[in-house]
Amino acid sequence: MKIIVCIKQVPDSAAKVVVEGGKVSWGDAPLVINPWDEYAVEAALQQKEALGGTVTAISIGGESAKEAIKHALAMGADDAILISDPALANLDTQAAAQVLAAAIRKAGGVDMAFFGRQAIDGDSGITPSQTARLLGWPALTLSAVIKVDGGNVRVERAIEEGRQIVTAKLPAVFSLVKDFGEPRYPSFMGIRKASRAEIPAWSLGDLGMVAPATVISWPEVMNPPSREVTCEVIGGGSPQEIAEKLADKILAEKIL
Amino acid sequence: MKTWVYVDHFKGQVLPASWEAIGAGKTLGTVTALVFGSGVEALAKTAFTYGADEVFLADDPALADYRSEAYASTLSSLAAEHKPDAILFPTTTRCREMAGMVAMDLKTGVMVDVTALELQGDRIVATRPIYAGKLLTKETCSASPQIATLRGRAFPKPAADTGKSGTPTKVAAKVEALTNVEGYATTEGGVSLIDAGVIVSGGRGVSNNPTLTPPGGLDEKQTEIWRAQQGFALVKDLAAVLGAAVGASRAAVDAGYVPYMHQVGQTGKVVSPDLYIACGISGAIQHLAGMRTSKMIVAINKDAEAPIFKVARYGVVGDLYQIIPALTAAFKSKLGK
């Protein structure tokens, strides 16, 4: 089973992200592998353990994205590819999907392409289905359970109404939710291996393409309006008296 | 502007954000509602009552189950023929997928999970939260049609006018798909977090009742989970009285207290109810990102210094094991339940 995991580097989820002078800043918070992609790496490693094969991490980004890739290697991915080109700054999702689809094709013989459900910076969650559409592969998004049987796969997808149970043929694109368990910690050996790994870089030329045009632009980024609330602490009295007062306050706001 | 609005439904149950999207579409121009499925003519009729000027109905047994390729191809081929200026979807799991695929087919882009729209000339300027709402962007799409998915509860739901009616235009379905749907498994009933007007959430603090005596034979972790389950039972009681959905912090989910589907926050669901009651939740930045746009936040926590009180309108510093049952009883009598 040849599995590719597409990963993205993002500011840590605990970062205080603000706009300063028109630019997005996350202070001194680290850039890390997108948490959802960490779940995808975990799911990919579980498939490899069950079925045999290899796991390759790929990421679009600059030199710094190698840190996210190394995390995937340290977790147990076999190898990695960095897609790096000066023309690939500020891609929208459809442009990123074009690049990833080209990379998956170039890698050749891929059975499963894994993605996290969304990146915690752009929060779009549509790159997986867009990549599947370009490849002409089934889009098994929001997969919570994956069972491979030969060239067939059966997944449970987490949708609003519960689970949709779907079968399809491989190769397929998957986006993963959290149900595969907490991502494993990199082992000491894994970290050593990752630190020494040579990560090949592919340019757009290597993929046989020119920079895809971006159609979504976001000229303006803003801090959200500040939430001006003063907390009124309800106290003084028994729990029943406090609860009475609180219920009256809430009902007086006429939002129920 | 010629605007299309896709009406998302599951087995004929329309997700309310679809009607909100029709309302939003009307602010841009004329609205053609798109209803796909099998035996869904009634939904097409309902779309007129919510303000659709025209309805395209693809009614085909092969569309009985949502399958992304068939639904996306049906929409793309219609759009290639009729050339709408904009296509709006509610932000749902199905529609994120469809919108993304349709955009690839039509060589355009998607503005995802939009909370406000305005028109500048023939371009939509869409406001959307990024970094789980830590920031907002204003986006535009340079290609046509301009596609956006609209966040539930961000746009007012139009009042249904049963006097309005029309005849849906039947359109052909594209039925080729790459998946087979074997069936469905429901996980847990209850109110969906995304559509909820009221959410009652529990955090780590719900396992914190030293006065309870757990049954014998449990190890330390099992005891903690048992305690948490007693706490979440109180959270659920309060939610039931308020017709609310049950939420949880990441800490509570990671500790195994409740399933992941309840998680609110940056790696869970981003919610925006009218009332959010946080019980035993300290208010980590990842959690606040997922619920800070709630209209009113109420916090119950033992720790007066907990950051959750900084976003709360009302707070109770106290033991949630005493406060929540008292609050449930108070609402029960005041709401006449």
Q: What are phi and psi of B176, to 5 degrees?
A: -65, 130
- For residue B187, the model assigns a pLDDT of 62
Asked if domains B2-170 and B198-334 share a fold, the reply is yes
A146-173 tens-digit pLDDT: 999 999 999 999 998 889 999 999 999 9
Q: What is the mean pLDDT of residues A121-149?
A: 97
User: Would you say B14 and B35 are in contact if contact means Cβ atoms under 8 Å apart?
Assistant: no
The fold adopted by the segment(s) B198-334 is Rossmann fold (3.40.50)
Percentage of residues in chain B having pLDDT higher than 70: 99
A66 CB contacts (<8 Å, ≥6 apart)? Answer: A82, A199
Query: Is B182 in the A-facing interface, judged by CB distances under 8 Å?
Result: yes
CA nearest to A53, candidates A119, A109, A106? A109
- For residue A22, the model assigns a pLDDT of 87
Percentage of residues in chain A having pLDDT higher than 70: 100
- Where is average pLDDT lowest: A161-165, B176-180, B297-301? A161-165
Band (B188; pLDDT cuts 50, 70, 90): low
Query: Is A235 in the B-facing interface, judged by CB distances under 8 Å?
Result: yes
- Cite the beta strand spans of A88-180 per DSSP E: 112-116, 139-149, 152-159, 162-169, 172-176
Asked if A233 and B295 come within 8 Å (Cβ–Cβ), the reply is no
ipTM here: 0.95
- For residue B33, the model assigns a pLDDT of 98
- Chain centroid to Cα B212, Å, comes to 36
Kind of pairing between the strands at A9-11 and B169-170:
unpaired
Asked if B135 and A13 come within 8 Å (Cβ–Cβ), the reply is no
**Cis, peptide link before residue B210, omega less than 30° from 0:** no
Least CB–CB distance from B274: residue in A125, A227, A255: A255
A68-105 tens-digit pLDDT: 999 999 999 999 999 999 999 889 999 999 999 999 99
- For residue A194, the model assigns a pLDDT of 96
Tell me the residues of chain B between 250 and 279 that have a Cβ less than 8 Å away from chain A.
Answer: 254, 260-261, 266-267, 270, 274-275
Retrieve residue A83's tokens.
């897609």
- d(Cα B307, Cα B281) in Å, to the nearest integer? 9
B3-20 tens-digit pLDDT: 999 999 999 999 999 999
**What are residue A145's DSSP bridge partners?**
A156
Domain B2-170 classification at class level: alpha beta
Least CB–CB distance from A229: residue in B110, B267, B313: B313
Domain A2-202: assigned CATH number: 3.40.50.620
Question: Contacts for A72-75 with beta carbons within 8 Å, 24 or more apart?
Answer: A72/A5, A72/A7, A72/A33, A72/A37, A72/A41, A73/A190, A73/A193, A73/A194, A73/A197, A74/A186, A74/A187, A74/A190, A74/A191, A74/A193, A74/A194, A75/A38, A75/A41, A75/A42, A75/A45, A75/A183, A75/A184, A75/A185, A75/A186, A75/A190
Mean pLDDT (chain A, rounded): 95
Q: What is the mean pLDDT of residues A122-132?
A: 97
- Is residue A228 pLDDT above 80, yes or no? no
Least CB–CB distance from B93: residue in A97, A159, A242: A159
- For residue A44, the model assigns a pLDDT of 98
B92-147 tens-digit pLDDT: 999 999 999 999 999 999 999 999 999 999 999 999 999 988 999 999 999 999 99
Q: Which residue has the higher pLDDT, A173 or B272?
A: A173
3-state helix, strand, coil in chain B (%, to 5): 35, 30, 40
**What are residue A133's DSSP bridge partners?**
none
Question: B146-164 burial string, b = 16+ CB within 10 Å, else e?
Answer: bbbbbbbbbbebbeeeeee
- Is residue B266 pLDDT above 90, yes or no? no
- For residue A152, the model assigns a pLDDT of 98
Query: Is A249 in the B-facing interface, judged by CB distances under 8 Å?
Result: yes
- For residue A223, the model assigns a pLDDT of 94
Asked if A120 and B135 come within 8 Å (Cβ–Cβ), the reply is no
Alpha carbons within 13 A on the beta-carbon side of B151: 26
- For residue B186, the model assigns a pLDDT of 75
User: Would you say A166 and A154 are in contact if contact means Cβ atoms under 8 Å apart?
Assistant: yes
B294 CB contacts (<8 Å, ≥6 apart)? Answer: B199, B271, B272, B273, B274, B275, B276
Domain ranges of chain B: 2-170, 198-334
Instruction: Write down the pTM of the prediction.
Output: 0.92
Asked if B330 and A166 come within 8 Å (Cβ–Cβ), the reply is no
- For residue B189, the model assigns a pLDDT of 61
- For residue B154, the model assigns a pLDDT of 93
- For residue B42, the model assigns a pLDDT of 97
- For residue A179, the model assigns a pLDDT of 87
Q: What are phi and psi of B144, to 5 degrees?
A: -130, 140
B216-229 tens-digit pLDDT: 888 988 999 999 99
Percentage of residues in chain B having pLDDT higher than 90: 85
A145 CB contacts (<8 Å, ≥6 apart)? Answer: A155, A156, A179
* Phi-psi category of residue B235: left, alpha or beta, with phi > 0 → left and psi -120 to 50 → alpha: alpha
Asked if A129 and B101 come within 8 Å (Cβ–Cβ), the reply is yes
- For residue A60, the model assigns a pLDDT of 97
Asked if B296 and A255 come within 8 Å (Cβ–Cβ), the reply is yes
Give the Å distances, CA to CA, from B216 to B206, B221, B222, B257: 20, 13, 11, 19
State the DSSP string of B144-174.
Answer: SSEEEEE-TTSSPPPPP-TT----PEE-PPP
Mean pLDDT (chain B, rounded): 94
- For residue A167, the model assigns a pLDDT of 98
- For residue B215, the model assigns a pLDDT of 86
Q: What is the mean pLDDT of residues B144-151?
A: 97
Least CB–CB distance from B139: residue in A161, A216, A232: A216
Band (B190; pLDDT cuts 50, 70, 90): low
- Is residue B81 pLDDT above 80, yes or no? yes
- Is residue A138 pLDDT above 70, yes or no? yes
CB atoms closer than 10 angstroms to residue B19: 26
Q: What is the mean pLDDT of residues B293-298?
A: 94
